[in-house]
Chains A and B, each alone.
Chain A
Amino acid sequence: MAKGRVSIVVERCKACGFCVEFCPTHVLALSSAFNSKGYHPPHVVHPEKCSGCDLCGMYCPDFAICATKVTPTGGGDK
């Protein structure tokens, strides 16, 4: 059961790669999909490894991603 959950605002992403690189558990990778500006946003490849540390959110220069710890009821913490 993943301890954290990621949320991505695809249209804001500019595919800088910070989140992919600095996720401590390598949850993310750049996808082959692209947004309306032509950037490849990240997608979650190892959801089970997400701890909800939100380093991705702290690094993202475009406010396009964040993660949160998952509570036992399954919802996200705000």
Chain B
Amino acid sequence: MTESLNTDILNPVEPFLRSDRMPSIWCPGCGIGTTVNSFARALIESKIDLQSLALVSGIGCTGRVAGYVKLDSFHTTHGRAIPFATGLKLANPKLNVVVYSGDGDLSAIGGNHLIHAARRNIDLKVICVNNLIYAMTGGQTAPTTPDHSTTSTNPYGVFEPSFNLPHLVEAAGAVYVARWTTFHVRQLSRSISEAFQKKGFSFIEVISPCPTLYQRRNKMGDGLDAMKFYKEKSKVRNGAPTSEVGLTMTGEIVVGKFVDRDRPDYQTMMRAQYADTLGAKFVEQQEMVCG
């Protein structure tokens, strides 16, 4: 007979957590923690060296992931996780750098940095948890909030078109683009593992419930209702053209791996260019550790 309270079983995610900071501040039914499970399993599966893994986040509910994972983690400013991560990666190319942040942080205030990093094909693995709203600050409209949704800054309903993030980052140059929901725990984990195998800018969007704000304000139930909604409305279409995967409030959610291509990453191109033009005068960047 099984018993609750057994603690001799080690949850695979536990070694990745700052257990001294549990329970988390995330709301009941929030999906961010679920994405962390998939992330942890991807790390285990890919046998990533945790010592050379750095995680960078921005501001928002998803930004708090940095504080809960037992890694070299950086909780930076709103929208600027990607440039911080770029500096980290350039100074120490041996690092595996993950950017873990929310839809508002990455596509609104951080939008410029998102497209430039994709254009440059900086070797970053970006996990964008998209809860369709600015949750931490109380439920304001985000560039990803679907048409007609109610938010605190669009109390009469959103009337702006929302971003189709996979389309945006593909156009900007990302080499790996996928979208899953928090219902797709295993597929998400697999995508993250695949991203770790690639050099270049990888972007994985995860649709996640915000029960306290998005769900509640739009009378869509709680986190569990959202998960059931994702299960019902999701359609796996690997390789679908990203122009066709835009989201609406109640429509189909196209998920899958949309883009998986190869092109040289920023540092490879940089070294090649310098070697080509400077020849013997080019001095490869050594380990930056100063002092």
Which residues of A approach B to under 8 Å, CB–CB?
2, 5-12, 14-18, 21-22, 37, 39, 41-44, 47, 50, 54-55, 57-68, 75-78
Contacts and interface: CB of A to CB of B under 8 A. Distances in A.
Contacts of B5: 7-8, 10
Given A18-B227, A21-B228, A63-B14, A47 B2 contact: yes
Given A61-B29, A61-B31, A43 B227 contact: no
B27 A78 contact: no
Main secondary structure of the interface of B (DSSP, over half): loop
Contact of B223 (A18, A58, A68): A18
A55 B185 contact: yes
A27 to B, nearest CB: 8
B4 A14 contact: no
B32 A61 contact: yes
Interface stretch (B17-25, B140-148, B238-246, B275-283): B17-25
Interface residues of B, number: 40
A21 B221 CA distance: 15
Interface in B195-239: 222-224, 227-228
Interface string B1-38: 11111111111111001000011101111111110111
List 7 tightest A-B contacts by C-beta distance, closest first: A61-B33, A14-B28, A66-B11, A7-B9, A16-B29, A47-B2, A58-B185
Contact of B8 (A17, A39, A76): A76
Given A7-B11, A66-B11, A60 B34 contact: yes
Nearest to B35: A61
